[in-house]
Chains A and B, each alone.
Chain A
Amino acid sequence: MSIKANAKVQDAAYTSFYHDAFVRLKKDKVAVACLVFIVLLILVAIFAPLIAPYEEGYQDTSAILEGPSSKHWLGTDEFGRDILTRIIYGSRISLSVGLIAEAIAVTIGVFLGALAGYYGGKIDAVISRIIEVFASFPHILFAIVIMFVLGTGVINVFLAIGFVGWTGIARIIRAQVMQLKEKEFVEAARASGGSDLKIILRHLIPNCLSTIIVVVTMAIPSDIMYEASLSFLGLGVQPPVSSWGEMISMARKYLRTNPTYSVFPGIALVLTVLAFNLLGDALRDALDPKLKNL
């Protein structure tokens, strides 16, 4: 068999790997439930204006800090805004954080990790040190400092969280690439005249895809929590945009009189984080059990 054919066989085996994984996943009822929940959440976020009973910033001045009622199913906040509405719109922020912050983290992390793993030697040494430097700052504190450099606002939150989280992915990709580059199909690709960049982009990274998927899914809950924490500290979204973390923070003042104000956004947060955690677990079991020790 020609060398090129060898490479093709590798690719063929690779597709059925995903198929197998998907079958395994379908069997896990919990994972399916989580997936359904997440898909529903995404739909809620996209169609929020259609689903929410009120407009996002609408203040019903006659109903300040009320508990659940027929007009406001989950009650109102200190401005008379409907809590259910704000939780629905809040999903947009939480999901966006997961999406965009991870996109940033993955871009930086995969790029640097792959370079370090593939080239090794001096480049690896330098990049590894850079990774260690950035990894030694506690995430939250680093994000806070970045927020102060950039200023508040949703976009900056995404940037800050993404920029803080890339080190984890970088390390894992580096390790994976180091392992993969010894494999035959890489030799084959090199022999058939592929440039380094092509090899990295076309062969190595796609083979890390399963790892990336798992890592991303497991990192999203942390990102959502970071955003909630930043908003809790007052550094996140600006009014009238709503975020679950910000709601919990504002609700602290009214804990005695309106405990439900903080409970409902908290539940939303817990459920979302839970769903991503469990899905991540299931994905990892299905795609790459070697990552168990993460």
Chain B
Amino acid sequence: MTRAPLPEGIRFLDPEEAAARAEAVATLRDLYRQWGYLRVEVPALERLEPDHPRASKAFKLVDVGGSVLALRSDFTPALARLVRTAYPAVAAGEERPLRFSYDGLVWHAIDPELARGREFTQVGIELVGVSSARADAELIHLARESVRALGLTPRVEVGNPAYVTALFDAAGVPDGARGGLADAIDRKDQSAVIALVEGHGLRGPAADAIVEVPDLYGGPEVVDEALSRVPTAAARRALERLAGVLDEFEDQGDLMLDLGMARRLSYYTGVTFRAYTFDFGQPLLGGGRYDGSLLPRAAGFALGLGRVLAAVEAAREPFDGGAVDVSTAGRHADPLVASLDDAAARRLRAAGVRVVRSVADEPAAARAEAVTMGADFLLLPAHAGERPGERLVALREGHDHVVEQRLRSLLAAEGA
């Protein structure tokens, strides 16, 4: 049997993909920096903790001493660990907003299915030490802005699983039945919800609200609808928090409420959200509040970079093969120069031009090499008596003369 070069669900990135990824990460880092989030790095190798929310999904390794390690499977618990170590007062309950951003790989030891990798890049932020509708709104706003910054139109669904929990408490749903019922609500499986509610003999306004909750999605009116027959104070608080988050937005157009968001990662306790974009069937990012689980007050989100870039690619598709030649777009601003003249090349690089050093030993071979690598210009060593820059050769027909002039003036510049 032939051996696959890489484990399943793991892949190489070609230069184009790697560049797209690096650019997207840079865009997001910049966005988060502008909002005052401080970038941190957390280790990829962790001690395996059985109570880690994704312990069963983690790739495990054995340390030299025999203890079990895990590859990072989720940034949020890793960031929480960082806060517990570096900011013990905040981890103990001090109210003080801390903003962190991160980006890097996570690994999931799952059955590799179609279109689901096992190693993927996540970019995200956490807002720790504060819990309020205003803090929730900041994260939802930045989730929306993240999607926009990458050139996509966002639609963010916002829910509060605490509402469903409050309904369960009010209706007296037994502990053993909660998982299955939350699951059915989350899948908007009306018939299963009805069957479970009837099967457990649940009756009364809270039971009715449980049956109706899967269909409560849409604009702010769904909160009013739910508030009109809210069974308990806890349910009211969960709804009012959602309303409060919405109130923070002047433009609610891209937001959508879903009171039936009932089942998320185990650590979420409050407002949660996911972002989608048009004609792309999978969520681009997800996040929420996890007060009281990993930290006393904290919320955040993580964006799946591969997903987002696939969505960007899909959005671009209709233009493929059209009149716009993508391969040369942007080339004028960022020409590629091949060079046999090391001193001249240094001057161009100092001015920010991309210059590849030719490994050929004579001009004809250098020209062939330059064409192969797709260079726009070839820079040959000046002969005695020639002005610097005179031996810059344009390799493309119809090349940009403004760019050529700029390169020539850089080469001829004083102090060269």
Question: Is chain B found bound to chain A in the same assembly?
Answer: no
